[in-house]
Amino acid sequence: MKNKLSQFDITPVQYGVLQCIWQLDMHNPKEIAQYLSIENSTISGILERMEKKDLIVRNIDINDRRFIKIDLTEKSKALEIDVNKAVEEVNEDVMMIFTTEEELLLKKYLKRICTL
């Protein structure tokens, strides 16, 4: 995954952050950190690096100035389709080693883990 995403100059964890915004419409750093099981102190550094790469913008929430809102840049919006395609290719490559039955079991167990 790391190698595939490097062509877009993003890391797997940065992809996770982008996916939270792209697919789940999450804009709160604390919410994103919780969803990705990342410490709040760690998410700050990740967001800072993403901002330097022009992937996100951190803004003061207009409804509550105590909170920061994460917004996408035009650059990260433009990457969504290509990045998701690359991730899907990695997933397909990984899943090729499993039989259909094994793939179904793996997905079942991963879903169970996610509910913990």
* pLDDT in the model for residue 88: 95
Entry pTM: 0.85
Selection from 57, 92, 52, 99 nearest residue 74 by Cα? 57
Give SS3 for 3: helix
Predicted confidence (pLDDT) per residue in 39-96, tens digit: 988 999 999 999 999 999 999 877 777 788 899 999 999 999 999 999 999 999 999 9
Place of tokens 């800072």: 48
Q: 89 lies in which domain range?
A: 2-114
Q: How confident is the model at residue 113 (pLDDT cuts 50, 70, 90)?
A: confident
Residues 6+ apart with CB under 8 A from 19: none
Q: Report the distance separating Cα 33 and Cα 44, nearest Å.
A: 9
Q: Report the distance separating Cα 70 and Cα 104, nearest Å.
A: 35
68, 58 Cβ separation under 8 angstroms? yes
State the Cα torsion 8-11-14-20 to the nearest 10°: 80
The CATH code of the domain that includes 63 is 1.10.10.10
**Looking at the 3D structure of the chain, how many domains does it have?**
1
